[in-house]
Structures are given as structure tokens and as C-alpha cells.
Amino acid sequence: MKYAATEQVLMDAVAADVGCAALEFDDARAWLELARQAPMDPLAAEVWVFDLALRHVVLVRHRVRGWVPPGGKVEAGETPRTAAARELEEETGLRTQLLAEPGAAAVRSYRSDWSPTLGLSYVAVVGRDMPLSGESGQPAVWVALDEEWESVFPEDRTRIRAYARRLASRPVAATR
């Protein structure tokens, strides 16, 4: 499909981030290739924020989805990376750099009446002393990776833990 110049820049950024994501789930690369043949559904972006010891992750309490990483819809004119940073700040108060390599690409439906869409998970590593300030009615908290948390996406626990193990196997500096 031929895209307008601004849409092409977005699609190129999406394809690049999907292509270099550390983990791929739900056959995300193949899904993206098919999805690019028509106007795309909204994209989603989130941030897996780990503490320096890679033992905790920041989650927000969504009114419907339960405990999920901070994130949301990629708005018009945004790249997924920019949207992830914006959502992170809106939902947790954290302003930090994201690691260069996206953590994961996945395909899921965020509501039962929505079509599946592509979601990109970016990563940040910060000290647990960084204050969290959630949105009204949607608190942000540090959760130990060895704990269970209630979510409509139970596979997130396994995915986030797998990425933390991967990250722990190589040197990483805090992003803030």
C-alpha cells in the first residue's frame, strides 16, 4: 500500500522497531507485513520499566485490564517510541530514556470488540527511588517479578520475566 509521506515515516519506524525487537510474540513480523497492505489499525506502545537489580517492574492498575505496563495508543504523527515515552510520563510521572532496542513486538486485541493490533514494548531501567505518580484512579507501583499479578494479559508475566532474564545476562546501565 502506498502511504502519505508522514505515514511512510511512521511505518518505516514501526517496521524498524519490530525488526530489531529483542523478542517477538504472536508472529508479529508476519502480522505487520500483512497489515501494511491496508490502512493500519491503531498501534499500541508500552514501557517495561525495570529497577537496577532487574527484580521489579512498574505496573499501572487499569480499570479494565488489571495490572499492566504503562502504555497506550500511538497517536497520529507519533512513532511508537515517542508514544511509549509520552504514555510512561502520563501514567507514572517518569521521564527517562528508553533503551535503544525495543523489548518486544506482539499482536493482541486490547478489547474484545477491537481487531488485533501491533504492540511494541520498549524498556527503561531506573532506580526504585524514582517517584511514581499515577493518573487518577490508575496507580503506578513497583511489583516484584517473582510475584503474580492480575491482568487480562497473563502472558505478560512470562514475557516480561523472560526479557528481564535476557537483560540480566548482559551489562546494562540505568536509563536515568
Give the tens place of pLDDT for each residue, 81-103: 999 999 999 999 999 999 999 99
Cα–Cα distance list, 118 to 88, 107, 114 (Å): 18, 5, 12
- What's the pLDDT score for residue 12? 85
At residue 122, the pLDDT reads 98
The kind and range of the H/E element at 104 are strand 104-108
Gap between the Cα atoms of 74 and 77, Å rounded:
8
Fill in the DSSP letter of residue 138.
B
Q: Which helix (H) or strand (E) holds 85?
A: helix 80-92
pLDDT of residue 41: 66
Share above pLDDT 70 across residues of the chain, in percent, rounded to a whole number: 91
* pLDDT for 2: 53
CATH number of 5-168: 3.90.79.10
At 175 the three-state DSSP class reads coil
Average pLDDT, the chain: 90
Per-residue pLDDT, averaged over 6-28, amounts to 88
Q: What is the pLDDT of residue 88?
A: 98
